[in-house]
Each structure stands twice: as C-alpha cells, then as structure tokens.
Structure 1
Amino acid sequence: MEKLRKYLRIALPALFIIYLGCLIAFTHVHIVNGVTIVHSHPYSKTDDGRPNHEHNYAVFQLLHQLSTIQIGGATSIAILFATFLTFLYKLSCRPVYPDYLVPIKGKLSLRAPPVA
C-alpha cells in the first residue's frame, strides 16, 4: 500500500500538469450547424491555423460528457437536504445554554434556589 501511495504522489500531479498543458496548448473551435464547439486535444494545424481534422456527432458528445460535470435536480436536492439535516442534528443534539439558565446540569430552571 505504501508503494502505491508513493507512486500516486508522483503520478497524479504529473497527470494533472499534462492535462492542464493540453487544455492550454490544444484548445480549438469547430462550428457545426451554426453551433460553436470548443474543446481541447492534440491536433495538427493547416496553413491558416485551423484544425486539420473533423469529428462526428458521437465524438462531440463524448468530448462534451468528458468536459462537463452534470448534477441532476434530484441529486442537488438530496445534497441540500442532507446538509440541512446535519445542521438540524447539530442544533438539536448539542444545544448551547447560557450558564444562568442551567444552574444544575440537566435541569432547566429560571427561579432562584430556595433560601434555607
């Protein structure tokens, strides 16, 4: 396990740097049916600087899926609901009482102690 961690400490940052370099160096545009599609991958250029390749519809869909994060409505509502329940649990299970309200731990009383 330690050998895997040692490998990942080097491999994951290197992979991220390569990915970021690819995004910066190879971003290009395709216009298909009046829709501008921007994506990034290594490609060869023509003499005027345009990409010298074409993609079909399935490849555009794949590139779109790889470059976007999609969260459905039900998922976002579930995340908000879980956050709210966690906040509500913390409020209800660990209430904060001022010292003057709880002179005896566990007993809520606003009257003064009896005088003997």
Structure 2
Amino acid sequence: MEKLRSIIRIFLPLLFITYLGGITLFTHSHVVNGVIIVHSHPFKGEHEHTEVQLETIFYLSSFILSSLPELLTAVSAFLFVLRILGTSLIERIIYVKPCSSVNLRAPPLSC
C-alpha cells in the first residue's frame, strides 16, 4: 500500500504537468468553412486534419463542456479516494496484563 501511495504521489503531479503543458504549449487553430477550430496536440510545421478528425475534435469539445455536472461528481469521488489513500494507517497495540489468581496486594484489585 505504501508503494502504491509513493507511485501515485509521483504519477499524478507528472500527469497533471504533462496535460497542462500539452494544452498550453501546443494550442493552434484551423479555419474550416469560415469556422475557427482551436485545439491542442504536438505537431511539427504546417498540417491539416481530415473531416473525421475535425468532427472528433468537435464532439470531444462538446462532450467535455456538456458533462460538467458529471465531471464535478467524478472529481469529488476522485478527491475522496485520494484522501483515503493519503491517510496514514495507524496500528495500535494495547498490552493487557493477564490477571493471575495470586494477588500480592489487598483488595480493591482491578485486573
């Protein structure tokens, strides 16, 4: 469990930095039939997209914008799971002295 936590502590920030860098550094636009389509992906030089690729970009953009309530629910569940993984496990060992039949002192005696 501790190894999983250490992997998650490294992987999640790295994933976030990669995502943020991807959407920030590689943003570009295309004009198709008078409509400007802005998206992001690594590329070299000038390039074009097929009609199917542009349609996919459109649907993914619409999906992300229209699914905000579900996204908030998913984020809250994700944060809950992170909170559970982030808590340290505590083991408590309680030593209980066994009561013996021979008592070396007078009553009252509590075992």
Return the TM-score normalized by structure 1.
Answer: 0.49
Paired with 1:65 and 1:13, the residues of 2 have a C-alpha distance of 28
Identity %: 49
Q: Which amino acid aligns with 1:54?
A: E
Matched residue count: 69
Return the TM-score normalized by structure 2.
Answer: 0.51
| Residue 21 of structure 1 pairs with residue 17 of structure 2 | no
The C-alpha deviation readout for 1:26-54, integer Å capped at 9, x for no partner, is 11000111110000111112xxxxxx111
Query: SS of the counterpart of 1:69?
Result: helix
Other-structure match for 1:71: 67
1:57 Cα shift? 2.4
**Over aligned residues, Cα RMSD in angstroms?**
2.6
Q: Which amino acid aligns with 2:43?
A: Y
List runs of 5+ in structure 1 lacking aligned partners: 46-51, 80-116
List runs of 5+ in structure 2 lacking aligned partners: 74-111
Q: Which amino acid aligns with 1:71?
A: S
Query: SS of the counterpart of 1:43?
Result: coil
Relative contact order higher in (CA < 8 Å, ≥ 6 apart) = 2
Other-structure match for 1:36: 36
